Amino acid sequence: MSQKKTILFMSTLALALTAMAGNPFFETYKTPHQTIPFIEIKTEHFLPAFEVAMKKHSEEVAAIINNPQVPTFENTIEALEHTGTLLTKVSSPFYNLLSSETTDELQDLAEKISPLVTEHSNSIRLNEKLFARVKAVYLQKDNLKLSPEQKMLLKDTYEGFTNNGANLSDADKAIYRELSKDLSLLSLQYGQNVLKETNNYSLLISDKTLLSGLPSDFMDVLASNAKKAGKEGWLLNLKATCYVPFMKYSENRDLRREIYMANASKCMGGGEYDNRENVRKIANTRLKIAKLLGYKSFSEYELIDRMAENKKNVYNLLDKLLLAYKPEAEKEYSEVQDFANKKGAYFKIQPWDWSYYSEKLKDEKYSVNDEMLKPYFELENVKKGVFGLATRLYGIKFRKNTKIPVYNPEVEAYDVTDENGKYLAVLYTDFHPRDGKRAGAWMNDFKAQSMIGKMDSRPQVTVVMNFTRPTETKPALLTYDELKTFLHEFGHSLHGMLTKCTYESLSGTNVYRDFVELPSQIMENWASEKEFLDGFATHYQTGEKIPVELIQKIKASENFNNAYSCLRQLSFCYLDMSWHSLETPYEGDIIDFEKEAMASTQILPMIPNTAMSTSFNHIFSGGYAAGYYSYKWAEVLDADAFSVFSSKGIFDKKTADSFRENILLKGGTEHPMVLYKRFRGQEPTIDAILKRDGIIRN
Ligand SMILES: [Zn+2]
């Protein structure tokens, strides 16, 4: 080694050592269950930890590539699965904090770290020598004695490479890279156009009489919008928080029409942010990628690792639902039309009238609202109810453990034990909104379950919500929707906590996308069950149990205009499938394309010069291309699965055991249809969802 190199070597080492000294990521955590020592972790620990962790990961992968022995399942696939432990240890708290407890420094850091991480994972995913070893194992798959879980790991690992072009010739690889780059730029631009066009629109109202019908707290929001813009009056915009309540409550038909048209013609008016060409380009680029990889269409490529498997199965479900819901939706339409006529509206109901008259009719039919229910859903009681449900179904228990470090004093940590009192998982709960926490609700892993040798390394999961905070005079009272959200995210956490798999990448919620919402959505079914509510839903002041009539009203109002809503969702599913099932590039008009794709699902008149495709972020800039159907798919599954509980008893232990054994425990270790049939004894049907939605009555 030359002198110069020695010095260089020394200084890198010295640098690495200073970075590592006192950095908790390089030490074994001494906390209960080796949970993350949040108190010790400082923002400046992340970057050096990421750098060392990525380097270590690369070295681990290099060791697999350079192994002189012939590739085997153990020395390649399993070995690869076990790489990157340190990187996960660093990235998991980082990305969780970025969502739940972010700061400007953390955001800046994310911008720095995210390209490094992308480059790092590309260097592994596009490594030809590594792929050669993976492929060598994959080609012998039929001769290897592998368990179903090992087969799944092999398939997933191999497809992780081939779906990113690993099997292509060098020339085609270059084309693939070019197309992928184009696609990510197009999607980004598409999304930005939607955002800009949405943000650019505003309508100032100075005459209060034009705003009749709007609730006073909503008027306050509009007034503060105006104030922020330095104006007097009330400022309307196209964000969902303004658009949705405005369409529901505004008595002014002309204004409703104006707002509706502005929203429904976004990014198609020929201006700077027009997305019409982007839509064609995105769909056509996806088609090119799919063809390059050997598929007829993008949906065919996208659906290979879905429970639905292929577009025939997707269309089969959509068509069945359309047939069942359409006659009912037409009845709902007539009912709203008659109601509007009675209220003196002598015109055909248009899309900008629908929400307004539906809301009025709903009020008249079912006088149930959030304020009536909230006193029965005090957060502490709901917590007991939800945890208690898991105890009744699965025998698991929750004990608060204040010794587990948390990232904010509001967060609570629980030791979760199984029916024999054995440690199962750590559950964190984080209920209220704060600065630095993003909106919405979610479940996430801090640590996923896996077997490390013979030891079952148990998971640590978190559920995060944004429920109304308690005040000085009132405890936190949840709305009915918030109760359902809690059950939903808690359902995901059960999937994460009850799992028992060998490999981390297949455990818990690591399942196909159209299957992941089954464990969460099924939990929402308990929300309107009397037997469940009776256990905890008592009035926070009087202690009185939630009245039966109120529960019945909830159930009835949940089905209000359900068929119409279902048809609307179906129309998005059909549109998504049409764009992504193209087998030749599309160069025609966007509106013409939509008309054909969505015609069968339309109940309200189709309005000229409007389109959905130019602002459909989910499928053109989000991750839902050829995947929008999965919302409906999961609903069908959860209704079908819950029907077993309904018929055997909502706390039936045997049914719960089977759900746990066949679904919650198994993660993604086998094809979801195989798992589901083991629980249900047959493939799912739409019977249960039709019954739940009130489409068939018996
Ligand atoms: Zn979910």
| The pair of three-digit structure tokens given for residue 665, joined into one six-digit string | 């425990």
Confidence of residue 440 (pLDDT cuts 50, 70, 90): confident
Give me ligand 1 centre to Cα 178, in Å.
Answer: 34
pLDDT at 698: 62
Cα(384)–Cα(327) distance, integer angstroms: 42
Q: Give the per-residue pLDDT at 551.
A: 86
Is residue 17 scored above 80 in pLDDT?
no
Residue 502 CA, ligand 1 centroid: distance in Å:
24
Rounded to 5 degrees, what angle do the CA atoms 256, 259, 260 make?
80
The pLDDT of residue 118: 86
How many Å lie between the centroid of ligand 1 and the Cα of residue 105?
Answer: 29
- Check whether 7 has a pLDDT greater than 50: no
First to last CA, the chain: 84
Q: Cα dihedral sign for 144, 148, 150, 152?
A: positive
CA 476 to centroid of ligand 1, rounded, Å: 23
Does the active-site annotation cover 74? Answer: no
CA of 443 to the centre of ligand 1 (A): 8
Written in H, E and C, the secondary structure of 312-340 is HHHHHHHHHHHHHHHHHHHHHHHHHHHHH
What was the pLDDT predicted at 72?
98
Separation between Cα atoms, residue 371 and residue 34, nearest integer Å? 43
Partners of 456 in beta bridges:
451
For the chain, the 3-state helix, strand and coil shares in percent, each to the nearest 5, are 60, 5, 35
Q: How far is the CA of 488 from the centre of ligand 1 (A)?
A: 6
Query: Is the per-residue pLDDT at 10 higher than 60?
Result: no
Residue 6: what pLDDT? 43
For tokens 């640098």, name the residue.
15
Cα(604)–Cα(592) distance, rounded to whole angstroms?
A: 17
How much of the chain exceeds pLDDT 90, in percent? 85
Under 8 Å between Cβ of 646 and 555: no
- Percent of the chain at pLDDT above 70? 97
**Per-residue model confidence (pLDDT) at position 288:** 98
Which alpha helices (H) appear in 581-605, and where do they start and end? 590-598
Q: What is the pLDDT of residues 130-188, one digit of tens each?
A: 999 999 999 999 999 999 999 999 999 999 999 989 999 999 999 998 999 999 899 98
Dist CA 341 CA 348 (whole Å): 9
- Measured in Å, residue 692 CA sits from the centre of ligand 1 at 20
pLDDT of residue 630: 94
The predicted structure's pLDDT at residue 477: 93
Per-residue pLDDT, averaged over 55-74, amounts to 98
Q: What angle do CA 643, 645, 647 make, to 5 degrees?
A: 70
Summarize pLDDT for 106-131 with one digit per residue, the tens. 999 998 998 899 889 888 988 999 99
Assign 494 a pLDDT band (cuts: 50, 70, 90): very high
Taking the centre of ligand 1 as the mean of its atom positions, its distance from the CA of residue 516, in whole angstroms, is 7
Q: Which helix (H) or strand (E) holds 386?
A: helix 379-394
pLDDT given for residue 131 in this prediction: 97
- Tens digit of each residue's pLDDT (9 = 90 or more) over 302-325: 999 999 999 999 999 999 999 999
> What is the average per-residue pLDDT within 2-31?
67
Q: What is the pLDDT of residue 73?
A: 98
If one compares 440 and 48, the residue with the highest pLDDT of the two is: 48
Closest by CA position to 516, among listed 310, 664, 357, 652: 664
Number of DSSP helices (H) and strands (E) in the chain, helices first: 28, 9
The CA 672 to ligand 1 mean position distance, Å, reads 17
Pairing of β 203-205 and β 234-236: antiparallel
Give the C-alpha separation, 666 to 679, whole Å: 12
State yes or no: pLDDT of 45 exceeds 80.
yes
Q: Name the pLDDT band for 90 (thresholds 50, 70, 90).
A: very high
Assess contact for 482 and 376: CB atoms under 8 A: no
**Of 96, 133, 94, the residue nearest 116 (C-alpha):** 94
Total length of the chain: 698
Compute the distance from residue 492 Cα to the ligand 1 centre, in Å. 7
Distance from C-alpha of 637 to C-alpha of 642, rounded to nearest angstrom: 8
Q: What is the pLDDT of the chain when averaged over all its residues?
A: 94
- How far apart are the CA of 683 and the centre of ligand 1, in A? 22
pLDDT (mean) for 31-46: 97
pTM of the shown model: 0.91
Where does the pLDDT of residue 19 fall: very low under 50, low under 70, confident under 90, or very high at 90 and above? low
| Contact residues for 493 (Cβ-Cβ < 8 A; gap 6+) | 427, 443, 461, 462, 463
Q: What whole-number distance in Å separates Cα of residue 438 and Cα of residue 416? A: 27
Q: What is the mean pLDDT of residues 534-539?
A: 96
Catalytic-labelled residue, pool 489, 517, 594, 635 = 489
